[in-house]
Structure 1
Amino acid sequence: MRERLLILFVIMLASAFFGEMKVNPLGGSFRFSLGIAAFFFGLLWFQAVPVLLTGFLTGTFILGFRVCLDVLIDYRTWGESFFVHLPSAFFYFSFSLLIYFIRARKYLEFPLLVGLIGASVDFLSNIVELQVRQIFSDTPLLTWESASMLLFFGALRSFFVVGLYNSFSIRQVRAVGAVRQQELERLRMINTELYEEAFYLRKSMTQLEEITRESYQLYTRLRESEHEESPTALTIAEHVHEVKKDSQRMLAGLSNLMNQEGLSPKLPIAELCGLVIRANQKYAEMLDKEIEFTWNCQVKLSTSQIYALLSVLNNLVANAVEAINKNGHVELLVALEHRNLVFHVLDSGPGIPRDEREWVFQPGYTTKYDAQGNSSTGIGLTHARGIVQSLQGSLRILHDREGMTHFEVEIPTDQLLRREVVS
């Protein structure tokens, strides 16, 4: 309620203020001003306010405002000023009444129609004002020339307001779109983390299935030999089976979380690479590092393996960011070679010694240490290679190119077009 009252006050004040920016084309006190433009814009933009009440209050406020202004500058007496400006109040009354009955707000998606409605309502309201003025003063009768002028100024004000309204609307839509895009990127990053967890969970379930089978076979052999530990083997098999069932429920829950509304099942490779670069630019800023990122993707291809690729590329580019000491350069290049899509990730970090390159994909290998000298887990590249191999691709480190550490990911395009499996 307080917000509506504030909006009403703003509309009334703006209409009164811009109403003093005027010309008097017909002589006398009849004026063309920007007050109605402010009023019309307020009705279109602030749709929470009622049209009729706003029009009545604005017309009354403008009448009082102009009378007070005349009296303060000793231009007219109270009574004289009241009858001079009363027709202006009728202009706002009739304008809001016509806008209300035509339901102009329903047609905001059709700017040209709204402009024509506004021009017509402006013209008719001016006619009403002139008729009222003829009652209280010697205002000249309406002629074809003055009618044409009324129509021209009405169209000018109306289309100015509609243009301004659409300009603000477009900016608002763009702002909302930018926020929406950021939200989608955040959801994709969350889903990427969920994908990684689901990837490992599926591997664990495969192992649990094998352990369950072997435990039951062990129980069968022990029972046939009438060994006293056969019930223990059966208990182990049952417990492992329960763990597998719990893992299945967890995987189903992860799958439901990953299938979020609003996320496209496919994403262009170029857009995906841009998402990786933007995320890691923020990561570099967080680490207080000045890193120049460049990327080039001319591939016109979309993939359904969004989270798999995001996981792999994020691992490689984040590793590059972490490897650079303070200043450096990271490149992400994408090319289509025969039937394979090839990603190149290069960084200007210290590099990996040649005699250690056969170990980089082993769990626990790392060249990164924190301020206290503690090493990282060293499973990122192992995990990335596992995902790439699940797509029948390859991940390898190449010879340094111009002093830059160079990782290459090669994945068959048919694997990138297959349906994303999350359960």
Structure 2
Amino acid sequence: MKRLKKFLLPILCVALFGEIYFYPFRSSFRFSAGIIVLNLIILISDPVSEFKLSLLSGMAVFLLRSTVDVFIENSSFQYIYQQNLPSGIYYVFYGALAVFLSIKKYQGKILTGILLFSAIDSLSNIVEALIRDGHVSFSMVQIIIMVGLVRSITAYIIYVLYKNQELFIQKREHQKRYSQLNLLVSDIQAEMFYLKKSMADIEKVMGKSYKLYEKYKDDRELQEDTLDIAREVHEIKKDYNRVLGGFESFLKKFETNDLMTLGDMKNIIEENTNRYLDAKELKNSICIEFDFRDNFSLKKYYSLFTVLNNLIVNALDACTSNGRIKVTQTSDKEHIYFHVEDNGEGIDEEIIPYIYNPGFTTKYYNDTGKASTGIGLAHVKNIVEELGGSIEVESKPGQGTLFTVSLPKNSLLG
């Protein structure tokens, strides 16, 4: 029953399109569009039994045409038998030839596939004509071959269009997953930066605790307490190391020699930004524009993605209604420049010297009232400096902010 259900929709399509007829060159021999659908199903469906599909299609065509002749045309059973049985035999013969010639093997070879489908169609039509009329004229054979070729070409044109659409959808899904992966790696890198900063603080606490232990040798009780603190902090340090090791192991899986073009990166960032705007319901109030002048191949694209993503999110958070953000890329002989400009609330001049300090923030979440972690810009500056570049900021309260990132080409390009 399950196997029959698998064939139900395809054979119904073949039968219904089999009722669409045309008479080429005003001949008395009629041709249907059903075989175009059958060819297409054989090409698209994987796996499928060509013979079973053709056999069931022939039965469906016979039953449908017979039903139409009985209830609409009021034809006799003899007429129905003579007119419709050859059509059913056509499909059976078609399926047998398709299996014999292993037509499925040639679906990717367009010219060979067209010729084989055309040959199977033509031979099956000749057999049908011989059963129906007892003879076939040379002119009719010519028409049959021409129609077989046209129907095969039509089926392959639809098949190629279908595959192109399928590839387009797959590419979009791949880009979406790749975009999500970039966001994940970006977030992990930010968390690693925060953990590394905490590791440095832990080292300081351990150092201070041990100094106290050395300083108060005469006070046995205090010495034991400070030593206990040092031990506990050391255990925390080991836990942090394990977490960092896990993150670093995860990231190494993505640190390959693969390259990404600036154009692809722009598309991914643009898609991520649009999703962010949709999630925040800001699409109608904030306009963002991307203008990348070059299309270099990048090898450290994860790092660059993290930098741009953080700067763009900060710009979005700084904007309110009628916000405008422009992300541009330029270059000269030795450097690549990225500019993220917004017309948001701006930054006070006295605050600018502190914006890269880890933990510094002026951002609070309205729903919780909690402050942001304040590691975004610190993380950005850290990455930029690791790449041998620099970051500058220009801002005027109430007018907007411009971040300019300068990176050496030799640190980014593959």
Q: TM-score range by the shorter chain?
A: 0.7 to 0.9
Q: Which residue of 2 aligns with 1:393?
A: 389
1:29-50 CA deviation, whole Å, 9 max, x = no partner?
Answer: 7421112112222222223442
Aligned to 1:154: 148
Question: Displacement, 1:20?
Answer: 2.3
Relative to 1, partners in 2 of residues 1:378 and 1:209: Cα closer, same or farther, differing over 3 Å? closer
Matched, 1:310 2:305: yes
Q: Aligned partner of 2:159: which letter?
A: Y
Percent same amino acid among aligned pairs? 28
Structure 2 CA distance for aligned equivalents of residues 262 and 235 of structure 1: 40
SS of 1:354's equivalent? coil
Identify if the C-alpha distance between structure 1 residues 353 and 198 changes in structure 2 by more than 3 Å, giving closer, same or farther: closer
Which digits, 9 at most, give the CA deviation of each residue in 1:101-149, with x for residues without a partner? 222112221122111110010011112212222xxxxx26323322211
What does the per-residue CA deviation read over 1:227-251, in whole Å, with 9 as the maximum and x for residues that have no partner? 6365555554444443333222212
Deviation of 1:303 after TM superposition, in Å, equals 3.0
Kindly state the Cα deviation for residue 210 of structure 1 after the two structures are TM-superposed.
6.1
Matched, 1:87 2:86: yes
Q: CA contact under 8 A between 1:270 and 1:298: conserved in structure 2?
A: no
SS in 2 for 1:38: helix
Alignment match, 2:242 = 249
Contact 1:341-1:411 at 8 Å conserved across structures: yes
For residues 149-228 of structure 1, what are the structure 2 equivalents within 5 Å? 149-208=143-202, 221=214, 228=220
Rounded to whole Å, the distance in 1 between the matches of 2:385 and 2:93 is: 74
Using a 3 Å threshold, how does the CA distance of structure 1 residues 280 and 15 change in structure 2: closer, same or farther? closer
Match of 2:401 in 1: 405
* 2:351 counterpart of 1:356: yes
1:284 is matched with which residue?
A: 277
In structure 1, what is the Cα distance between the partners aligned to 2:322 and 2:304? Answer: 27
Matched, 1:53 2:48: no
Looking at structure 2, the residues matched to 262 and 309 of structure 1 have their Cα atoms a distance apart, in angstroms, of 14
1:396 Cα deviation (Å)? Answer: 2.3
- Aligned mates of 2:67, 2:101 — CA distance in 1: 34
> Does the C-alpha gap of structure 1 residues 119 and 401 become closer, same or farther in structure 2, counting only changes over 3 Å?
farther
Alpha carbons of structure 1 residues 371 and 202: separation in structure 2 relative to 1, 3 Å: closer
CA shift at 1:216, angstroms? 6.0
For 1:169 and 1:15, locate their aligned partners in 2 and report how far apart those are by CA, in whole Å: 20
Q: Per the alignment, in what secondary structure is the counterpart of residue 169 of structure 1?
A: helix
> Is 108-117 or 151-160 further displaced after alignment?
108-117
Amino acid at match of 1:354: E
Summarize the Cα distance change of 1:368–1:184 in structure 2 as closer, same or farther, 3 Å threshold: same
- Are the aligned partners of 2:286 and 2:320 in contact in 1 as well (CA < 8 Å)? no
CA drift of 1:64 comes to: 2.2
Q: Please give the per-residue CA displacement for 1:169-217, whole angstroms capped at 9, x wherever unaligned.
A: 1111111211111011011101110111122223434554566567667
Aligned residues: 410
Shift of 1:222: 6.3
Tell me how far 1:406 sits from its aligned partner: 1.0
Distance 1:257 1:374, change over 3 A: closer
User: Which secondary structure does the structure 2 equivalent of 1:47 belong to?
Assistant: coil
Moved more, 4-13 or 260-269: 260-269
Bigger mean CA deviation after superposition, 104-113 or 240-249: 240-249
Partners of 1:36 and 1:85 in 2: how far apart?
15
1:209/1:340 Cα in 2 relative to 1: closer, same or farther (>3 Å)?
farther
1-side partners of 2:108 and 2:73: how far apart? 47
Please report how far the alpha carbon of residue 162 of structure 1 lies from its aligned counterpart in structure 2 after TM superposition.
1.1
Cα 1:262–1:125, aligned 2, differ >3 Å: closer, same or farther?
A: farther
Kept in 1, the 8 Å contact 2:345–2:397? The answer is no
Establish whether residue 128 from structure 1 lines up as the match of residue 130 from structure 2.
no
1:35 matched to 2:30? The reply is: no
Which runs of 5 or more structure 2 residues have no equivalent in the other structure?
Answer: none
Alignment of 1:303-382 (within 5 A): 303-362=298-357, 363-366=359-362, 370=366, 375-382=371-378
The one-letter amino acid of 1:252's match is G
Counterpart code for 2:75: R
Alignment-mate amino acid for residue 154 of structure 1: G
Q: In the alignment, which residue of structure 2 is the partner of 1:299?
A: 294
Shift, 1:408, TM fit: 1.5
Confirm or deny: 8 A CA contact 1:59 1:91 kept in the other structure.
yes
How large is the RMSD of aligned CA atoms in angstroms?
3.2
Q: CA distance change for structure 1 residues 263 and 90 in 2, over 3 Å: closer, same or farther?
A: farther
Is contact 2:344-2:398 (8 Å) kept?
A: no
